[in-house]
Amino acid sequence: MEILKESSSTTQNQTSVQSAQGAPERTQPSAEAPGKLACSSCKLRDVCMPVGLNPEELNRLDQLVSTRKKVKKGHALFRAGDAFNAFYAIRLGTFKSRVHGGDGKDQVTGFQMAGEILGLEGISMDKHACDAVALEDSEVCVIDYQHFQTLANVFPSLQKHFHRVMSREIVRDRNMMMLLGSMNAEQRLAAFLLNLVQRQQARGFSGQEMMLRMTREEIGNYLGLKLETVSRTLSKLQEEALIQVEQRHIKILNSTALRVLIGTPE
Amino acid sequence: MEILKESSSTTQNQTSVQSAQGAPERTQPSAEAPGKLACSSCKLRDVCMPVGLNPEELNRLDQLVSTRKKVKKGHALFRAGDAFNAFYAIRLGTFKSRVHGGDGKDQVTGFQMAGEILGLEGISMDKHACDAVALEDSEVCVIDYQHFQTLANVFPSLQKHFHRVMSREIVRDRNMMMLLGSMNAEQRLAAFLLNLVQRQQARGFSGQEMMLRMTREEIGNYLGLKLETVSRTLSKLQEEALIQVEQRHIKILNSTALRVLIGTPE
DNA sequence: CGTTTGCTTGACAGCATTCAACGTTGGTGG
DNA sequence: CCACCAACGTTGAATGCTGTCAAGCAAACG
């Protein structure tokens, strides 16, 4: 019954350096004592960057990931156009990524949770191609790209792992394209919710219920729907007894039926 | 006025080993004399893998890319589930990538032309996550992943370049998500056509006209539209005097207006 | 030359958007 | 502590874009 108590609580009385009131949506880097919490002892060890590394590689990774950064709710970890020189592993919290369209239209391209990697799109142009905005008070591990690469060139399996992470990103995006290209509103929401619980379950939380960290509008933007459609469709799924909606608290009542809906009953 | 005479003509009387009649959509590897046409002397040098490499690195790359493979129209270079051990640089021709949805629904996730890279999604799971099907008789350079990596670990700028290629893939997919998530049929077609001519122009062909290598259905599948909608919308763009449609031969009459349409007048 | 595949166009239906009103929640200041 | 406001969410009604079904035509292929 306990879901997602992981966040918000431990980040309350933090000491992060906040930018001035007048400059919202941007945080200053707040380096902490290095090695205070290494990858090797991190709770997210099994879902984050270290997966599949042997003890020595893990040890090397520890040395690398010495900087952390807190990002307050609504603030950006980085923005499109910012120079790229590091990527980030989410330690705590949730982010959204968004790209900027020609006119005012932005598009949310993903929601990232603890253990997931941010910023890899920046390698392409040596500057970030999207914004990464915290949906709640969050904290990330900063991994310097240059530094990481000198290490990865010596430890091939680390390099391989890095490639895997990037490749997984591509696969994820391709699946998203399929969702956007061929599913109706009900299927999109079903796929979205199933994906979220599944990722939370992989992190040791409930596979039945969750607390959404994003607004209906952000969900809609992500799924290519209007916020009203999101709301309506959630209501519909509830009427069909597939889920239970209580504000942002969602309970999966019939995951089998949800999977049938999107054509992935496996 | 000459557009896209690059292909079809030179691949007519080829000697590629074809699989038996009974096994369609799959080609056998057809290694050629190594080094016959190295990266360093390839016409696609400036748009393909070698961009930004110094002479020595380029030389090393030459040794690596000794195998080629011809793929006949309609056949698959690789398929979802195939073991991943190499990625591919298109030497000649055009491919489509498609992922398989839960039920019968497939989704075209991209069209690749000469100089572009295929197969990087396979790294994630050590097996390919999509099909790559030739839209015309094509030819690719086979780049062994293991071999490439041993080299890349010694030549950091090669590694960096590899990362750039993967990252660019991510950025591309994100932009596609924006298209699918927030554009109407007219905008999708406009963006699609502009993107295609722009890529062809980067390869030394016309920036005004082109020959489509894919069917309306494939375009529609890619853009999240039905083939009838694609056809109708092309007709509409023609009525508006923005393009000229003649079968698969498309001429851009007013690229400025097309860019305005999609909100990228820059 | 006939068959198949691809393309175009029309009519109609359906799903998501748009516009609008109202309800809820959470934070702020009196 | 309560009132008020702003942001978020729900729901209804009407519009419209795209999908669906269908027919006819053109081009490609053997």
Tens of pLDDT along A125-164? 999 999 999 999 999 999 999 999 999 988 888 899 999 9
| Stretch A199-218: mean pLDDT | 95
Is the confidence at residue A32, as pLDDT, over 70? no
| Whether A121 contacts chain B with CB within 8 A | yes
Give the nucleotide at minimum CA-to-C1' distance from A224.
C16
Determine the residue among A105, A117, A167, A219 to mutate to test chain B binding: the one whose Cβ has the most chain B Cβ atoms within 10 Å: A167
Q: Is A217 an 8 Å CB contact of chain B?
A: no
A169 backbone dihedrals φ, ψ, rounded to 5°: -60, -45
Residue A73 pLDDT > 60 = yes
Tell me the C-alpha to C-alpha distance, in Å, between residue B67 and each of A47, B29, B62, B90, B96: 37, 9, 10, 12, 21
**Interstrand relation of B249-252 and B209-211 (parallel, antiparallel or unpaired):** antiparallel
pTM to 2 decimal places:
0.87
CB contacts under 8 A, B 130-149 vs A, are: 130, 149
Can you give the pLDDT at residue B3?
33
On whether any CB of chain A is under 8 Å from the CB of B121, the answer is: yes
pLDDT recorded at residue A104: 81
- CB-count burial class (<10 Å; 0-12, 13-18, 19+) for A24: exposed
pLDDT of residue A207: 94
Structure-token pair, residue B235: 């007709």
pLDDT surpassing 50 at residue A17: no
- For chain A, give the percent of residues with pLDDT over 90: 70
Assigned token pair, A37: 């919490």
Task: Write out chain B's pLDDT in tens, 266 residues.
Answer: 333 333 333 333 333 333 333 334 444 444 444 445 688 888 998 889 888 888 888 888 888 888 999 999 999 999 999 999 999 999 999 999 999 987 888 999 999 999 999 999 999 999 999 999 999 999 999 999 999 999 998 888 889 999 999 999 999 999 999 999 999 999 999 999 999 999 999 999 999 999 999 999 999 999 999 999 999 999 999 999 999 999 999 999 999 999 999 998 77
- Model confidence pLDDT, tens digit, residues A112-132: 999 999 999 999 999 999 999
